Chain A
Amino acid sequence: SQQGEEDPQALSIQEGENATMNCSYKTSINNLQWYRQNSGRGLVHLILIRSNEREKHSGRLRVTLDTSKKSSSLLITASRAADTASYFCATCSNDYKLSFGAGTTVTVRA
């Protein structure tokens, strides 16, 4: 079964606005990763956050991790049309397997 669950399932925002999506998981993790998938393409890695980290930044992306609540959030600031994609969280346990959620579909309107 899939460990990560993203919320919301879909998000529509205006260009320039921020987009926030959340990921909840059930069991302990070694790290949590966020990926982007443009329509019909392979997934692209965005950020990896380890279980002992609370926040990481990469450009316009900010990821937080709360292991006590078993949840993570991905914030995209100042969104652009090119950010239109599906975003997935994936949890990694100590056996190196990744478990993906069903994803959040983000649409950025011009």
Chain B
Amino acid sequence: NAGVTQTPKFQVLKTGQSMTLQCAQDMNHEYMSWYRQDPGMGLRLIHYSVGAGITDQGEVPNGYNVSRSTTEDFPLRLLSAAPSQTSVYFCASSYSHPSGGASEQFFGPGTRLTVL
């Protein structure tokens, strides 16, 4: 199994450009999430999905869109990039724990995005 894969690994955008960060998992996990990590701030949840066709906002959703048309894929779209979106983006997937709540999350390697 490849686990959670993310593309691209690095990206430089100009202010106002749009792009899509790709995320795929081959573990048949129900839950997928996008986080951003900024220095000294840990991970902040952008959007998440509890299954195909179901998405919801996290802590910092503004400026980002997601969709979940299949179990495997969960792309993150930047609508109009801003310098404040310079960050490292991580995608993660997990399954529901038998006793409720989320189980361990499996993380992708990350995408380093710079917006000039």
- Chain A residues packing against B (C-beta within 8 Å): 1-2, 4, 30-31, 33, 35, 40-45, 48, 50, 88, 90, 92-94, 96-103
Q: A102 touching B41 by the CB < 8 A rule?
A: yes
**Which residue of A2, A93, A103 contacts B101 across the interface (Cβ within 8 Å)?**
A93
Q: B105 touching A45 by the CB < 8 A rule?
A: yes
Q: B109 touching A41 by the CB < 8 A rule?
A: yes
Q: A92 touching B90 by the CB < 8 A rule?
A: no
Q: Mark B76-116, 1 if CB is under 8 A from A, else 0.
A: 00000000000000101000110111111111111000000
| Residues of chain A with a CB closer than 8 A to B100's CB | 30, 94
| Residues of chain B with a CB closer than 8 A to A98's CB | 33, 45, 102, 105
Measured as residues with beta carbon below 8 angstroms from the partner, the interface class of chain B is: 20 to 34
| Residues of chain A with a CB closer than 8 A to B110's CB | 40-42
- Chain B residues packing against A (C-beta within 8 Å): 4, 31, 33, 35, 40-45, 48, 50, 58-59, 90, 92, 96-97, 99-110
**Which residue of B40, B42, B104 contacts A100 across the interface (Cβ within 8 Å)?**
B42
A18 to B: closest C-beta gap in Å: 24
Q: A103 touching B42 by the CB < 8 A rule?
A: yes
Q: A31 touching B45 by the CB < 8 A rule?
A: no
Q: A45-B105, A92-B102, A100-B43 are in contact. List 10 more A-B contacts (CB 8 A).
A: A30-B100, A41-B110, A43-B105, A88-B42, A92-B101, A97-B33, A97-B58, A98-B33, A98-B105, A100-B35
Q: Provided the pairs A99-B45, A100-B42, A102-B41 are in contact, do residues A30 and B104 lie with their beta carbons within 8 angstroms?
A: no
CA distance A102 to B38 in the complex (A): 10
| Residues of chain B with a CB closer than 8 A to A44's CB | 107
| Residues of chain B with a CB closer than 8 A to A102's CB | 40-42
